[in-house]
């Protein structure tokens, strides 16, 4: 039984993200109303605030997030 509140959609989009001046690249592998899962080699401590740029088909979505 899936207990998630938001349905997750499979989505592979390029994303750039980071903390302060450290920047990383990755790809999303699913998205929902409450979050984005990123396929990456970089791990952050839960609670870390990041800034991200999500590359959509015709626009770039800039947002802030918190690692959970």
Q: Is residue 4 part of a domain?
A: no
**pLDDT at res. 4:** 62
Residue-range definition of the domain harbouring residue 56: 9-66
CATH number at residue 29: 2.40.10.220
Strand partners of residue 19: 22
Q: Is residue 55 part of a domain?
A: yes
Number of structural domains in the chain:
1
Query: At residue 10, does pLDDT exceed 90?
Result: no
Q: Is residue 1 part of a domain?
A: no
Q: Is residue 50 part of a domain?
A: yes
Q: What percent of the chain clears pLDDT 90, i.e. is strictly above it?
A: 60
Q: Is residue 3 part of a domain?
A: no
Mean pLDDT, the chain, as a whole number?
89
Higher pLDDT, 2 or 6: 6
pTM: 0.80
Q: Is residue 2 part of a domain?
A: no
Measured between alpha carbons, how far is residue 47 from residues 10, 61, 65, 67 in Å? 24, 22, 9, 5
């Amino acid at each position: 039984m899936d207990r998630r509140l938001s349905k997750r959609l499979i989505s592979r989009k390029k994303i750039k993200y980071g903390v302060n001046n450290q920047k990383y690249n990755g790809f999303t592998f699913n998205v929902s109303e409450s979050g984005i899962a990123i396929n990456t080699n970089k791990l952050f401590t839960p609670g870390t605030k990041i800034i991200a740029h999500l590359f959509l088909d015709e626009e770039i979505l800039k947002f802030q997030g918190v690692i959970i």
